[in-house]
């Protein structure tokens, strides 16, 4: 992998790239919280070998030069526009989009708003935002699972708790990640305003998710949803209701894993995504 800067939407994003530019079918990989673009290292390597040009940005708030301070700057509209502008900067007419956690939520919104840009969508761990909203509204299991997101709404205190004992809580989340990835995560979250900026994903969007008021078109892109049945953040309700928001090909794969599936079982994620792309490339 090689690290480059991509300027888009008035910001500069650090990005990992792998593969030959302009000669291969492009793929964009979106990480979630609390990880960074380096989480996709094995995945990028695998798809570059398959003939793809792969880009994995450090998302808004995670890139030091793409870190506006105000909470409103992390609304889903801005996060989605970042992806559109990155693709425009790269001069991609169409590409395959893969997202995990918040990256999956952004990917769903992008697919709803810009279907003409996508060959396929692969969403890992997080369901369609409207299905997720239904779950938060109606499912007691999801309401309990999302309690951490409610606590993230409190100013300052979550940052203090997460920083305690040299980010001990986050290190437990990263237990399946290689040391060089953890070093990268610690470097990012230890940066100026980084923790607050990335928590603004929750603070700027959770109320709209909870009220289920994010207005989206139905998904017309062939879509793969991958979820771990032992996920501690996302319950079955939202996952099983995602299908009704997709008008195109849709497949759900349930794995014997948790939330951080790329760290837990990268080979399985690679194989499932590869099959989805081969079957549905448009």
The tens digit of pLDDT for each residue in 149-180 reads 999 999 999 999 999 999 999 999 999 999 99
| CA distances, 191 to each of 11, 71, 170, 198 (Å) | 17, 17, 15, 11
DSSP string, 226-238: EEETT-SSS-HHH
pLDDT digits (tens, 9 = 90+) for 252-268: 999 999 999 999 999 99
pLDDT band at 106 (very low <50, low <70, confident <90, very high): very high
pTM metric for this prediction: 0.97
Percent of the chain past pLDDT 70, that is, above it, reads 99
Q: For residues 247 and 220, is the Cβ–Cβ distance under 8 A?
A: yes
pLDDT band at 282 (very low <50, low <70, confident <90, very high): low
| Residue ranges per structural domain of the chain | 2-280
Burial group, residue 192, by CB count within 10 angstroms (0-12, 13-18, 19+): exposed
CATH superfamily, domain at 2-280: Alpha/Beta hydrolase fold, catalytic domain (3.40.50.1820)
pLDDT band at 87 (very low <50, low <70, confident <90, very high): very high
Beta partners for residue 28, in sequence order? 55, 97
Residue 24 predicted with pLDDT over 80: no
Report the chain's mean pLDDT, rounded to a whole number. Answer: 96
Classify 220 in phi/psi space as left (phi over 0), alpha (psi -120 to 50) or beta.
Answer: alpha
Cα–Cα distance measured from residue 207 to residue 164, given in angstroms and rounded to the nearest whole number:
27
């Amino acid at each position: 992998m090689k690290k480059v800067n991509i300027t888009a939407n008035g910001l500069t994003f650090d990005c990992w790239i792998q593969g030959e530019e302009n000669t291969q079918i492009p793929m964009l990989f979106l990480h979630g919280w609390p990880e960074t673009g380096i989480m996709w290292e094995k995945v990028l390597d695998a798809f570059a070998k398959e003939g793809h040009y792969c880009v994995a940005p450090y998302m808004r708030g995670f890139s030091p030069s793409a870190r506006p301070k105000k909470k409103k700057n992390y609304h889903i509209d801005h996060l989605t526009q970042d992806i559109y502008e990155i693709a425009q900067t790269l001069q991609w007419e169409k590409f395959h989009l893969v997202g995990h956690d918040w990256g999956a939520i952004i990917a769903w919104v992008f697919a709803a708003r810009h279907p003409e840009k996508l060959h396929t969508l692969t969403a890992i761990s997080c369901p369609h935002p409207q299905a997720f909203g239904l779950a938060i509204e109606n499912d007691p299991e999801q309401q309990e699972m999302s309690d951490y997101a409610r606590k993230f709404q409190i100013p300052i205190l979550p940052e203090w708790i997460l920083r305690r004992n040299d980010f001990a809580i986050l290190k437990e989340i990263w237990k399946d990640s290689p040391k060089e990835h953890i070093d990268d995560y610690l470097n990012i979250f230890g940066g100026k305003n980084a923790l607050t900026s990335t928590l603004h994903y929750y603070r700027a969007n959770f109320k709209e998710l909870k009220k289920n008021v994010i207005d989206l078109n139905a998904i017309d892109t062939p879509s793969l949803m991958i979820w771990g049945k032992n996920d501690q953040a996302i319950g079955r309700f939202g996952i099983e209701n995602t299908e009704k928001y997709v008008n195109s090909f849709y497949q759900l794969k349930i794995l014997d894993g948790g939330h951080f599936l790329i760290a837990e079982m990268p080979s399985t994620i690679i194989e499932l995504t590869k099959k989805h792309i081969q079957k549905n490339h448009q």
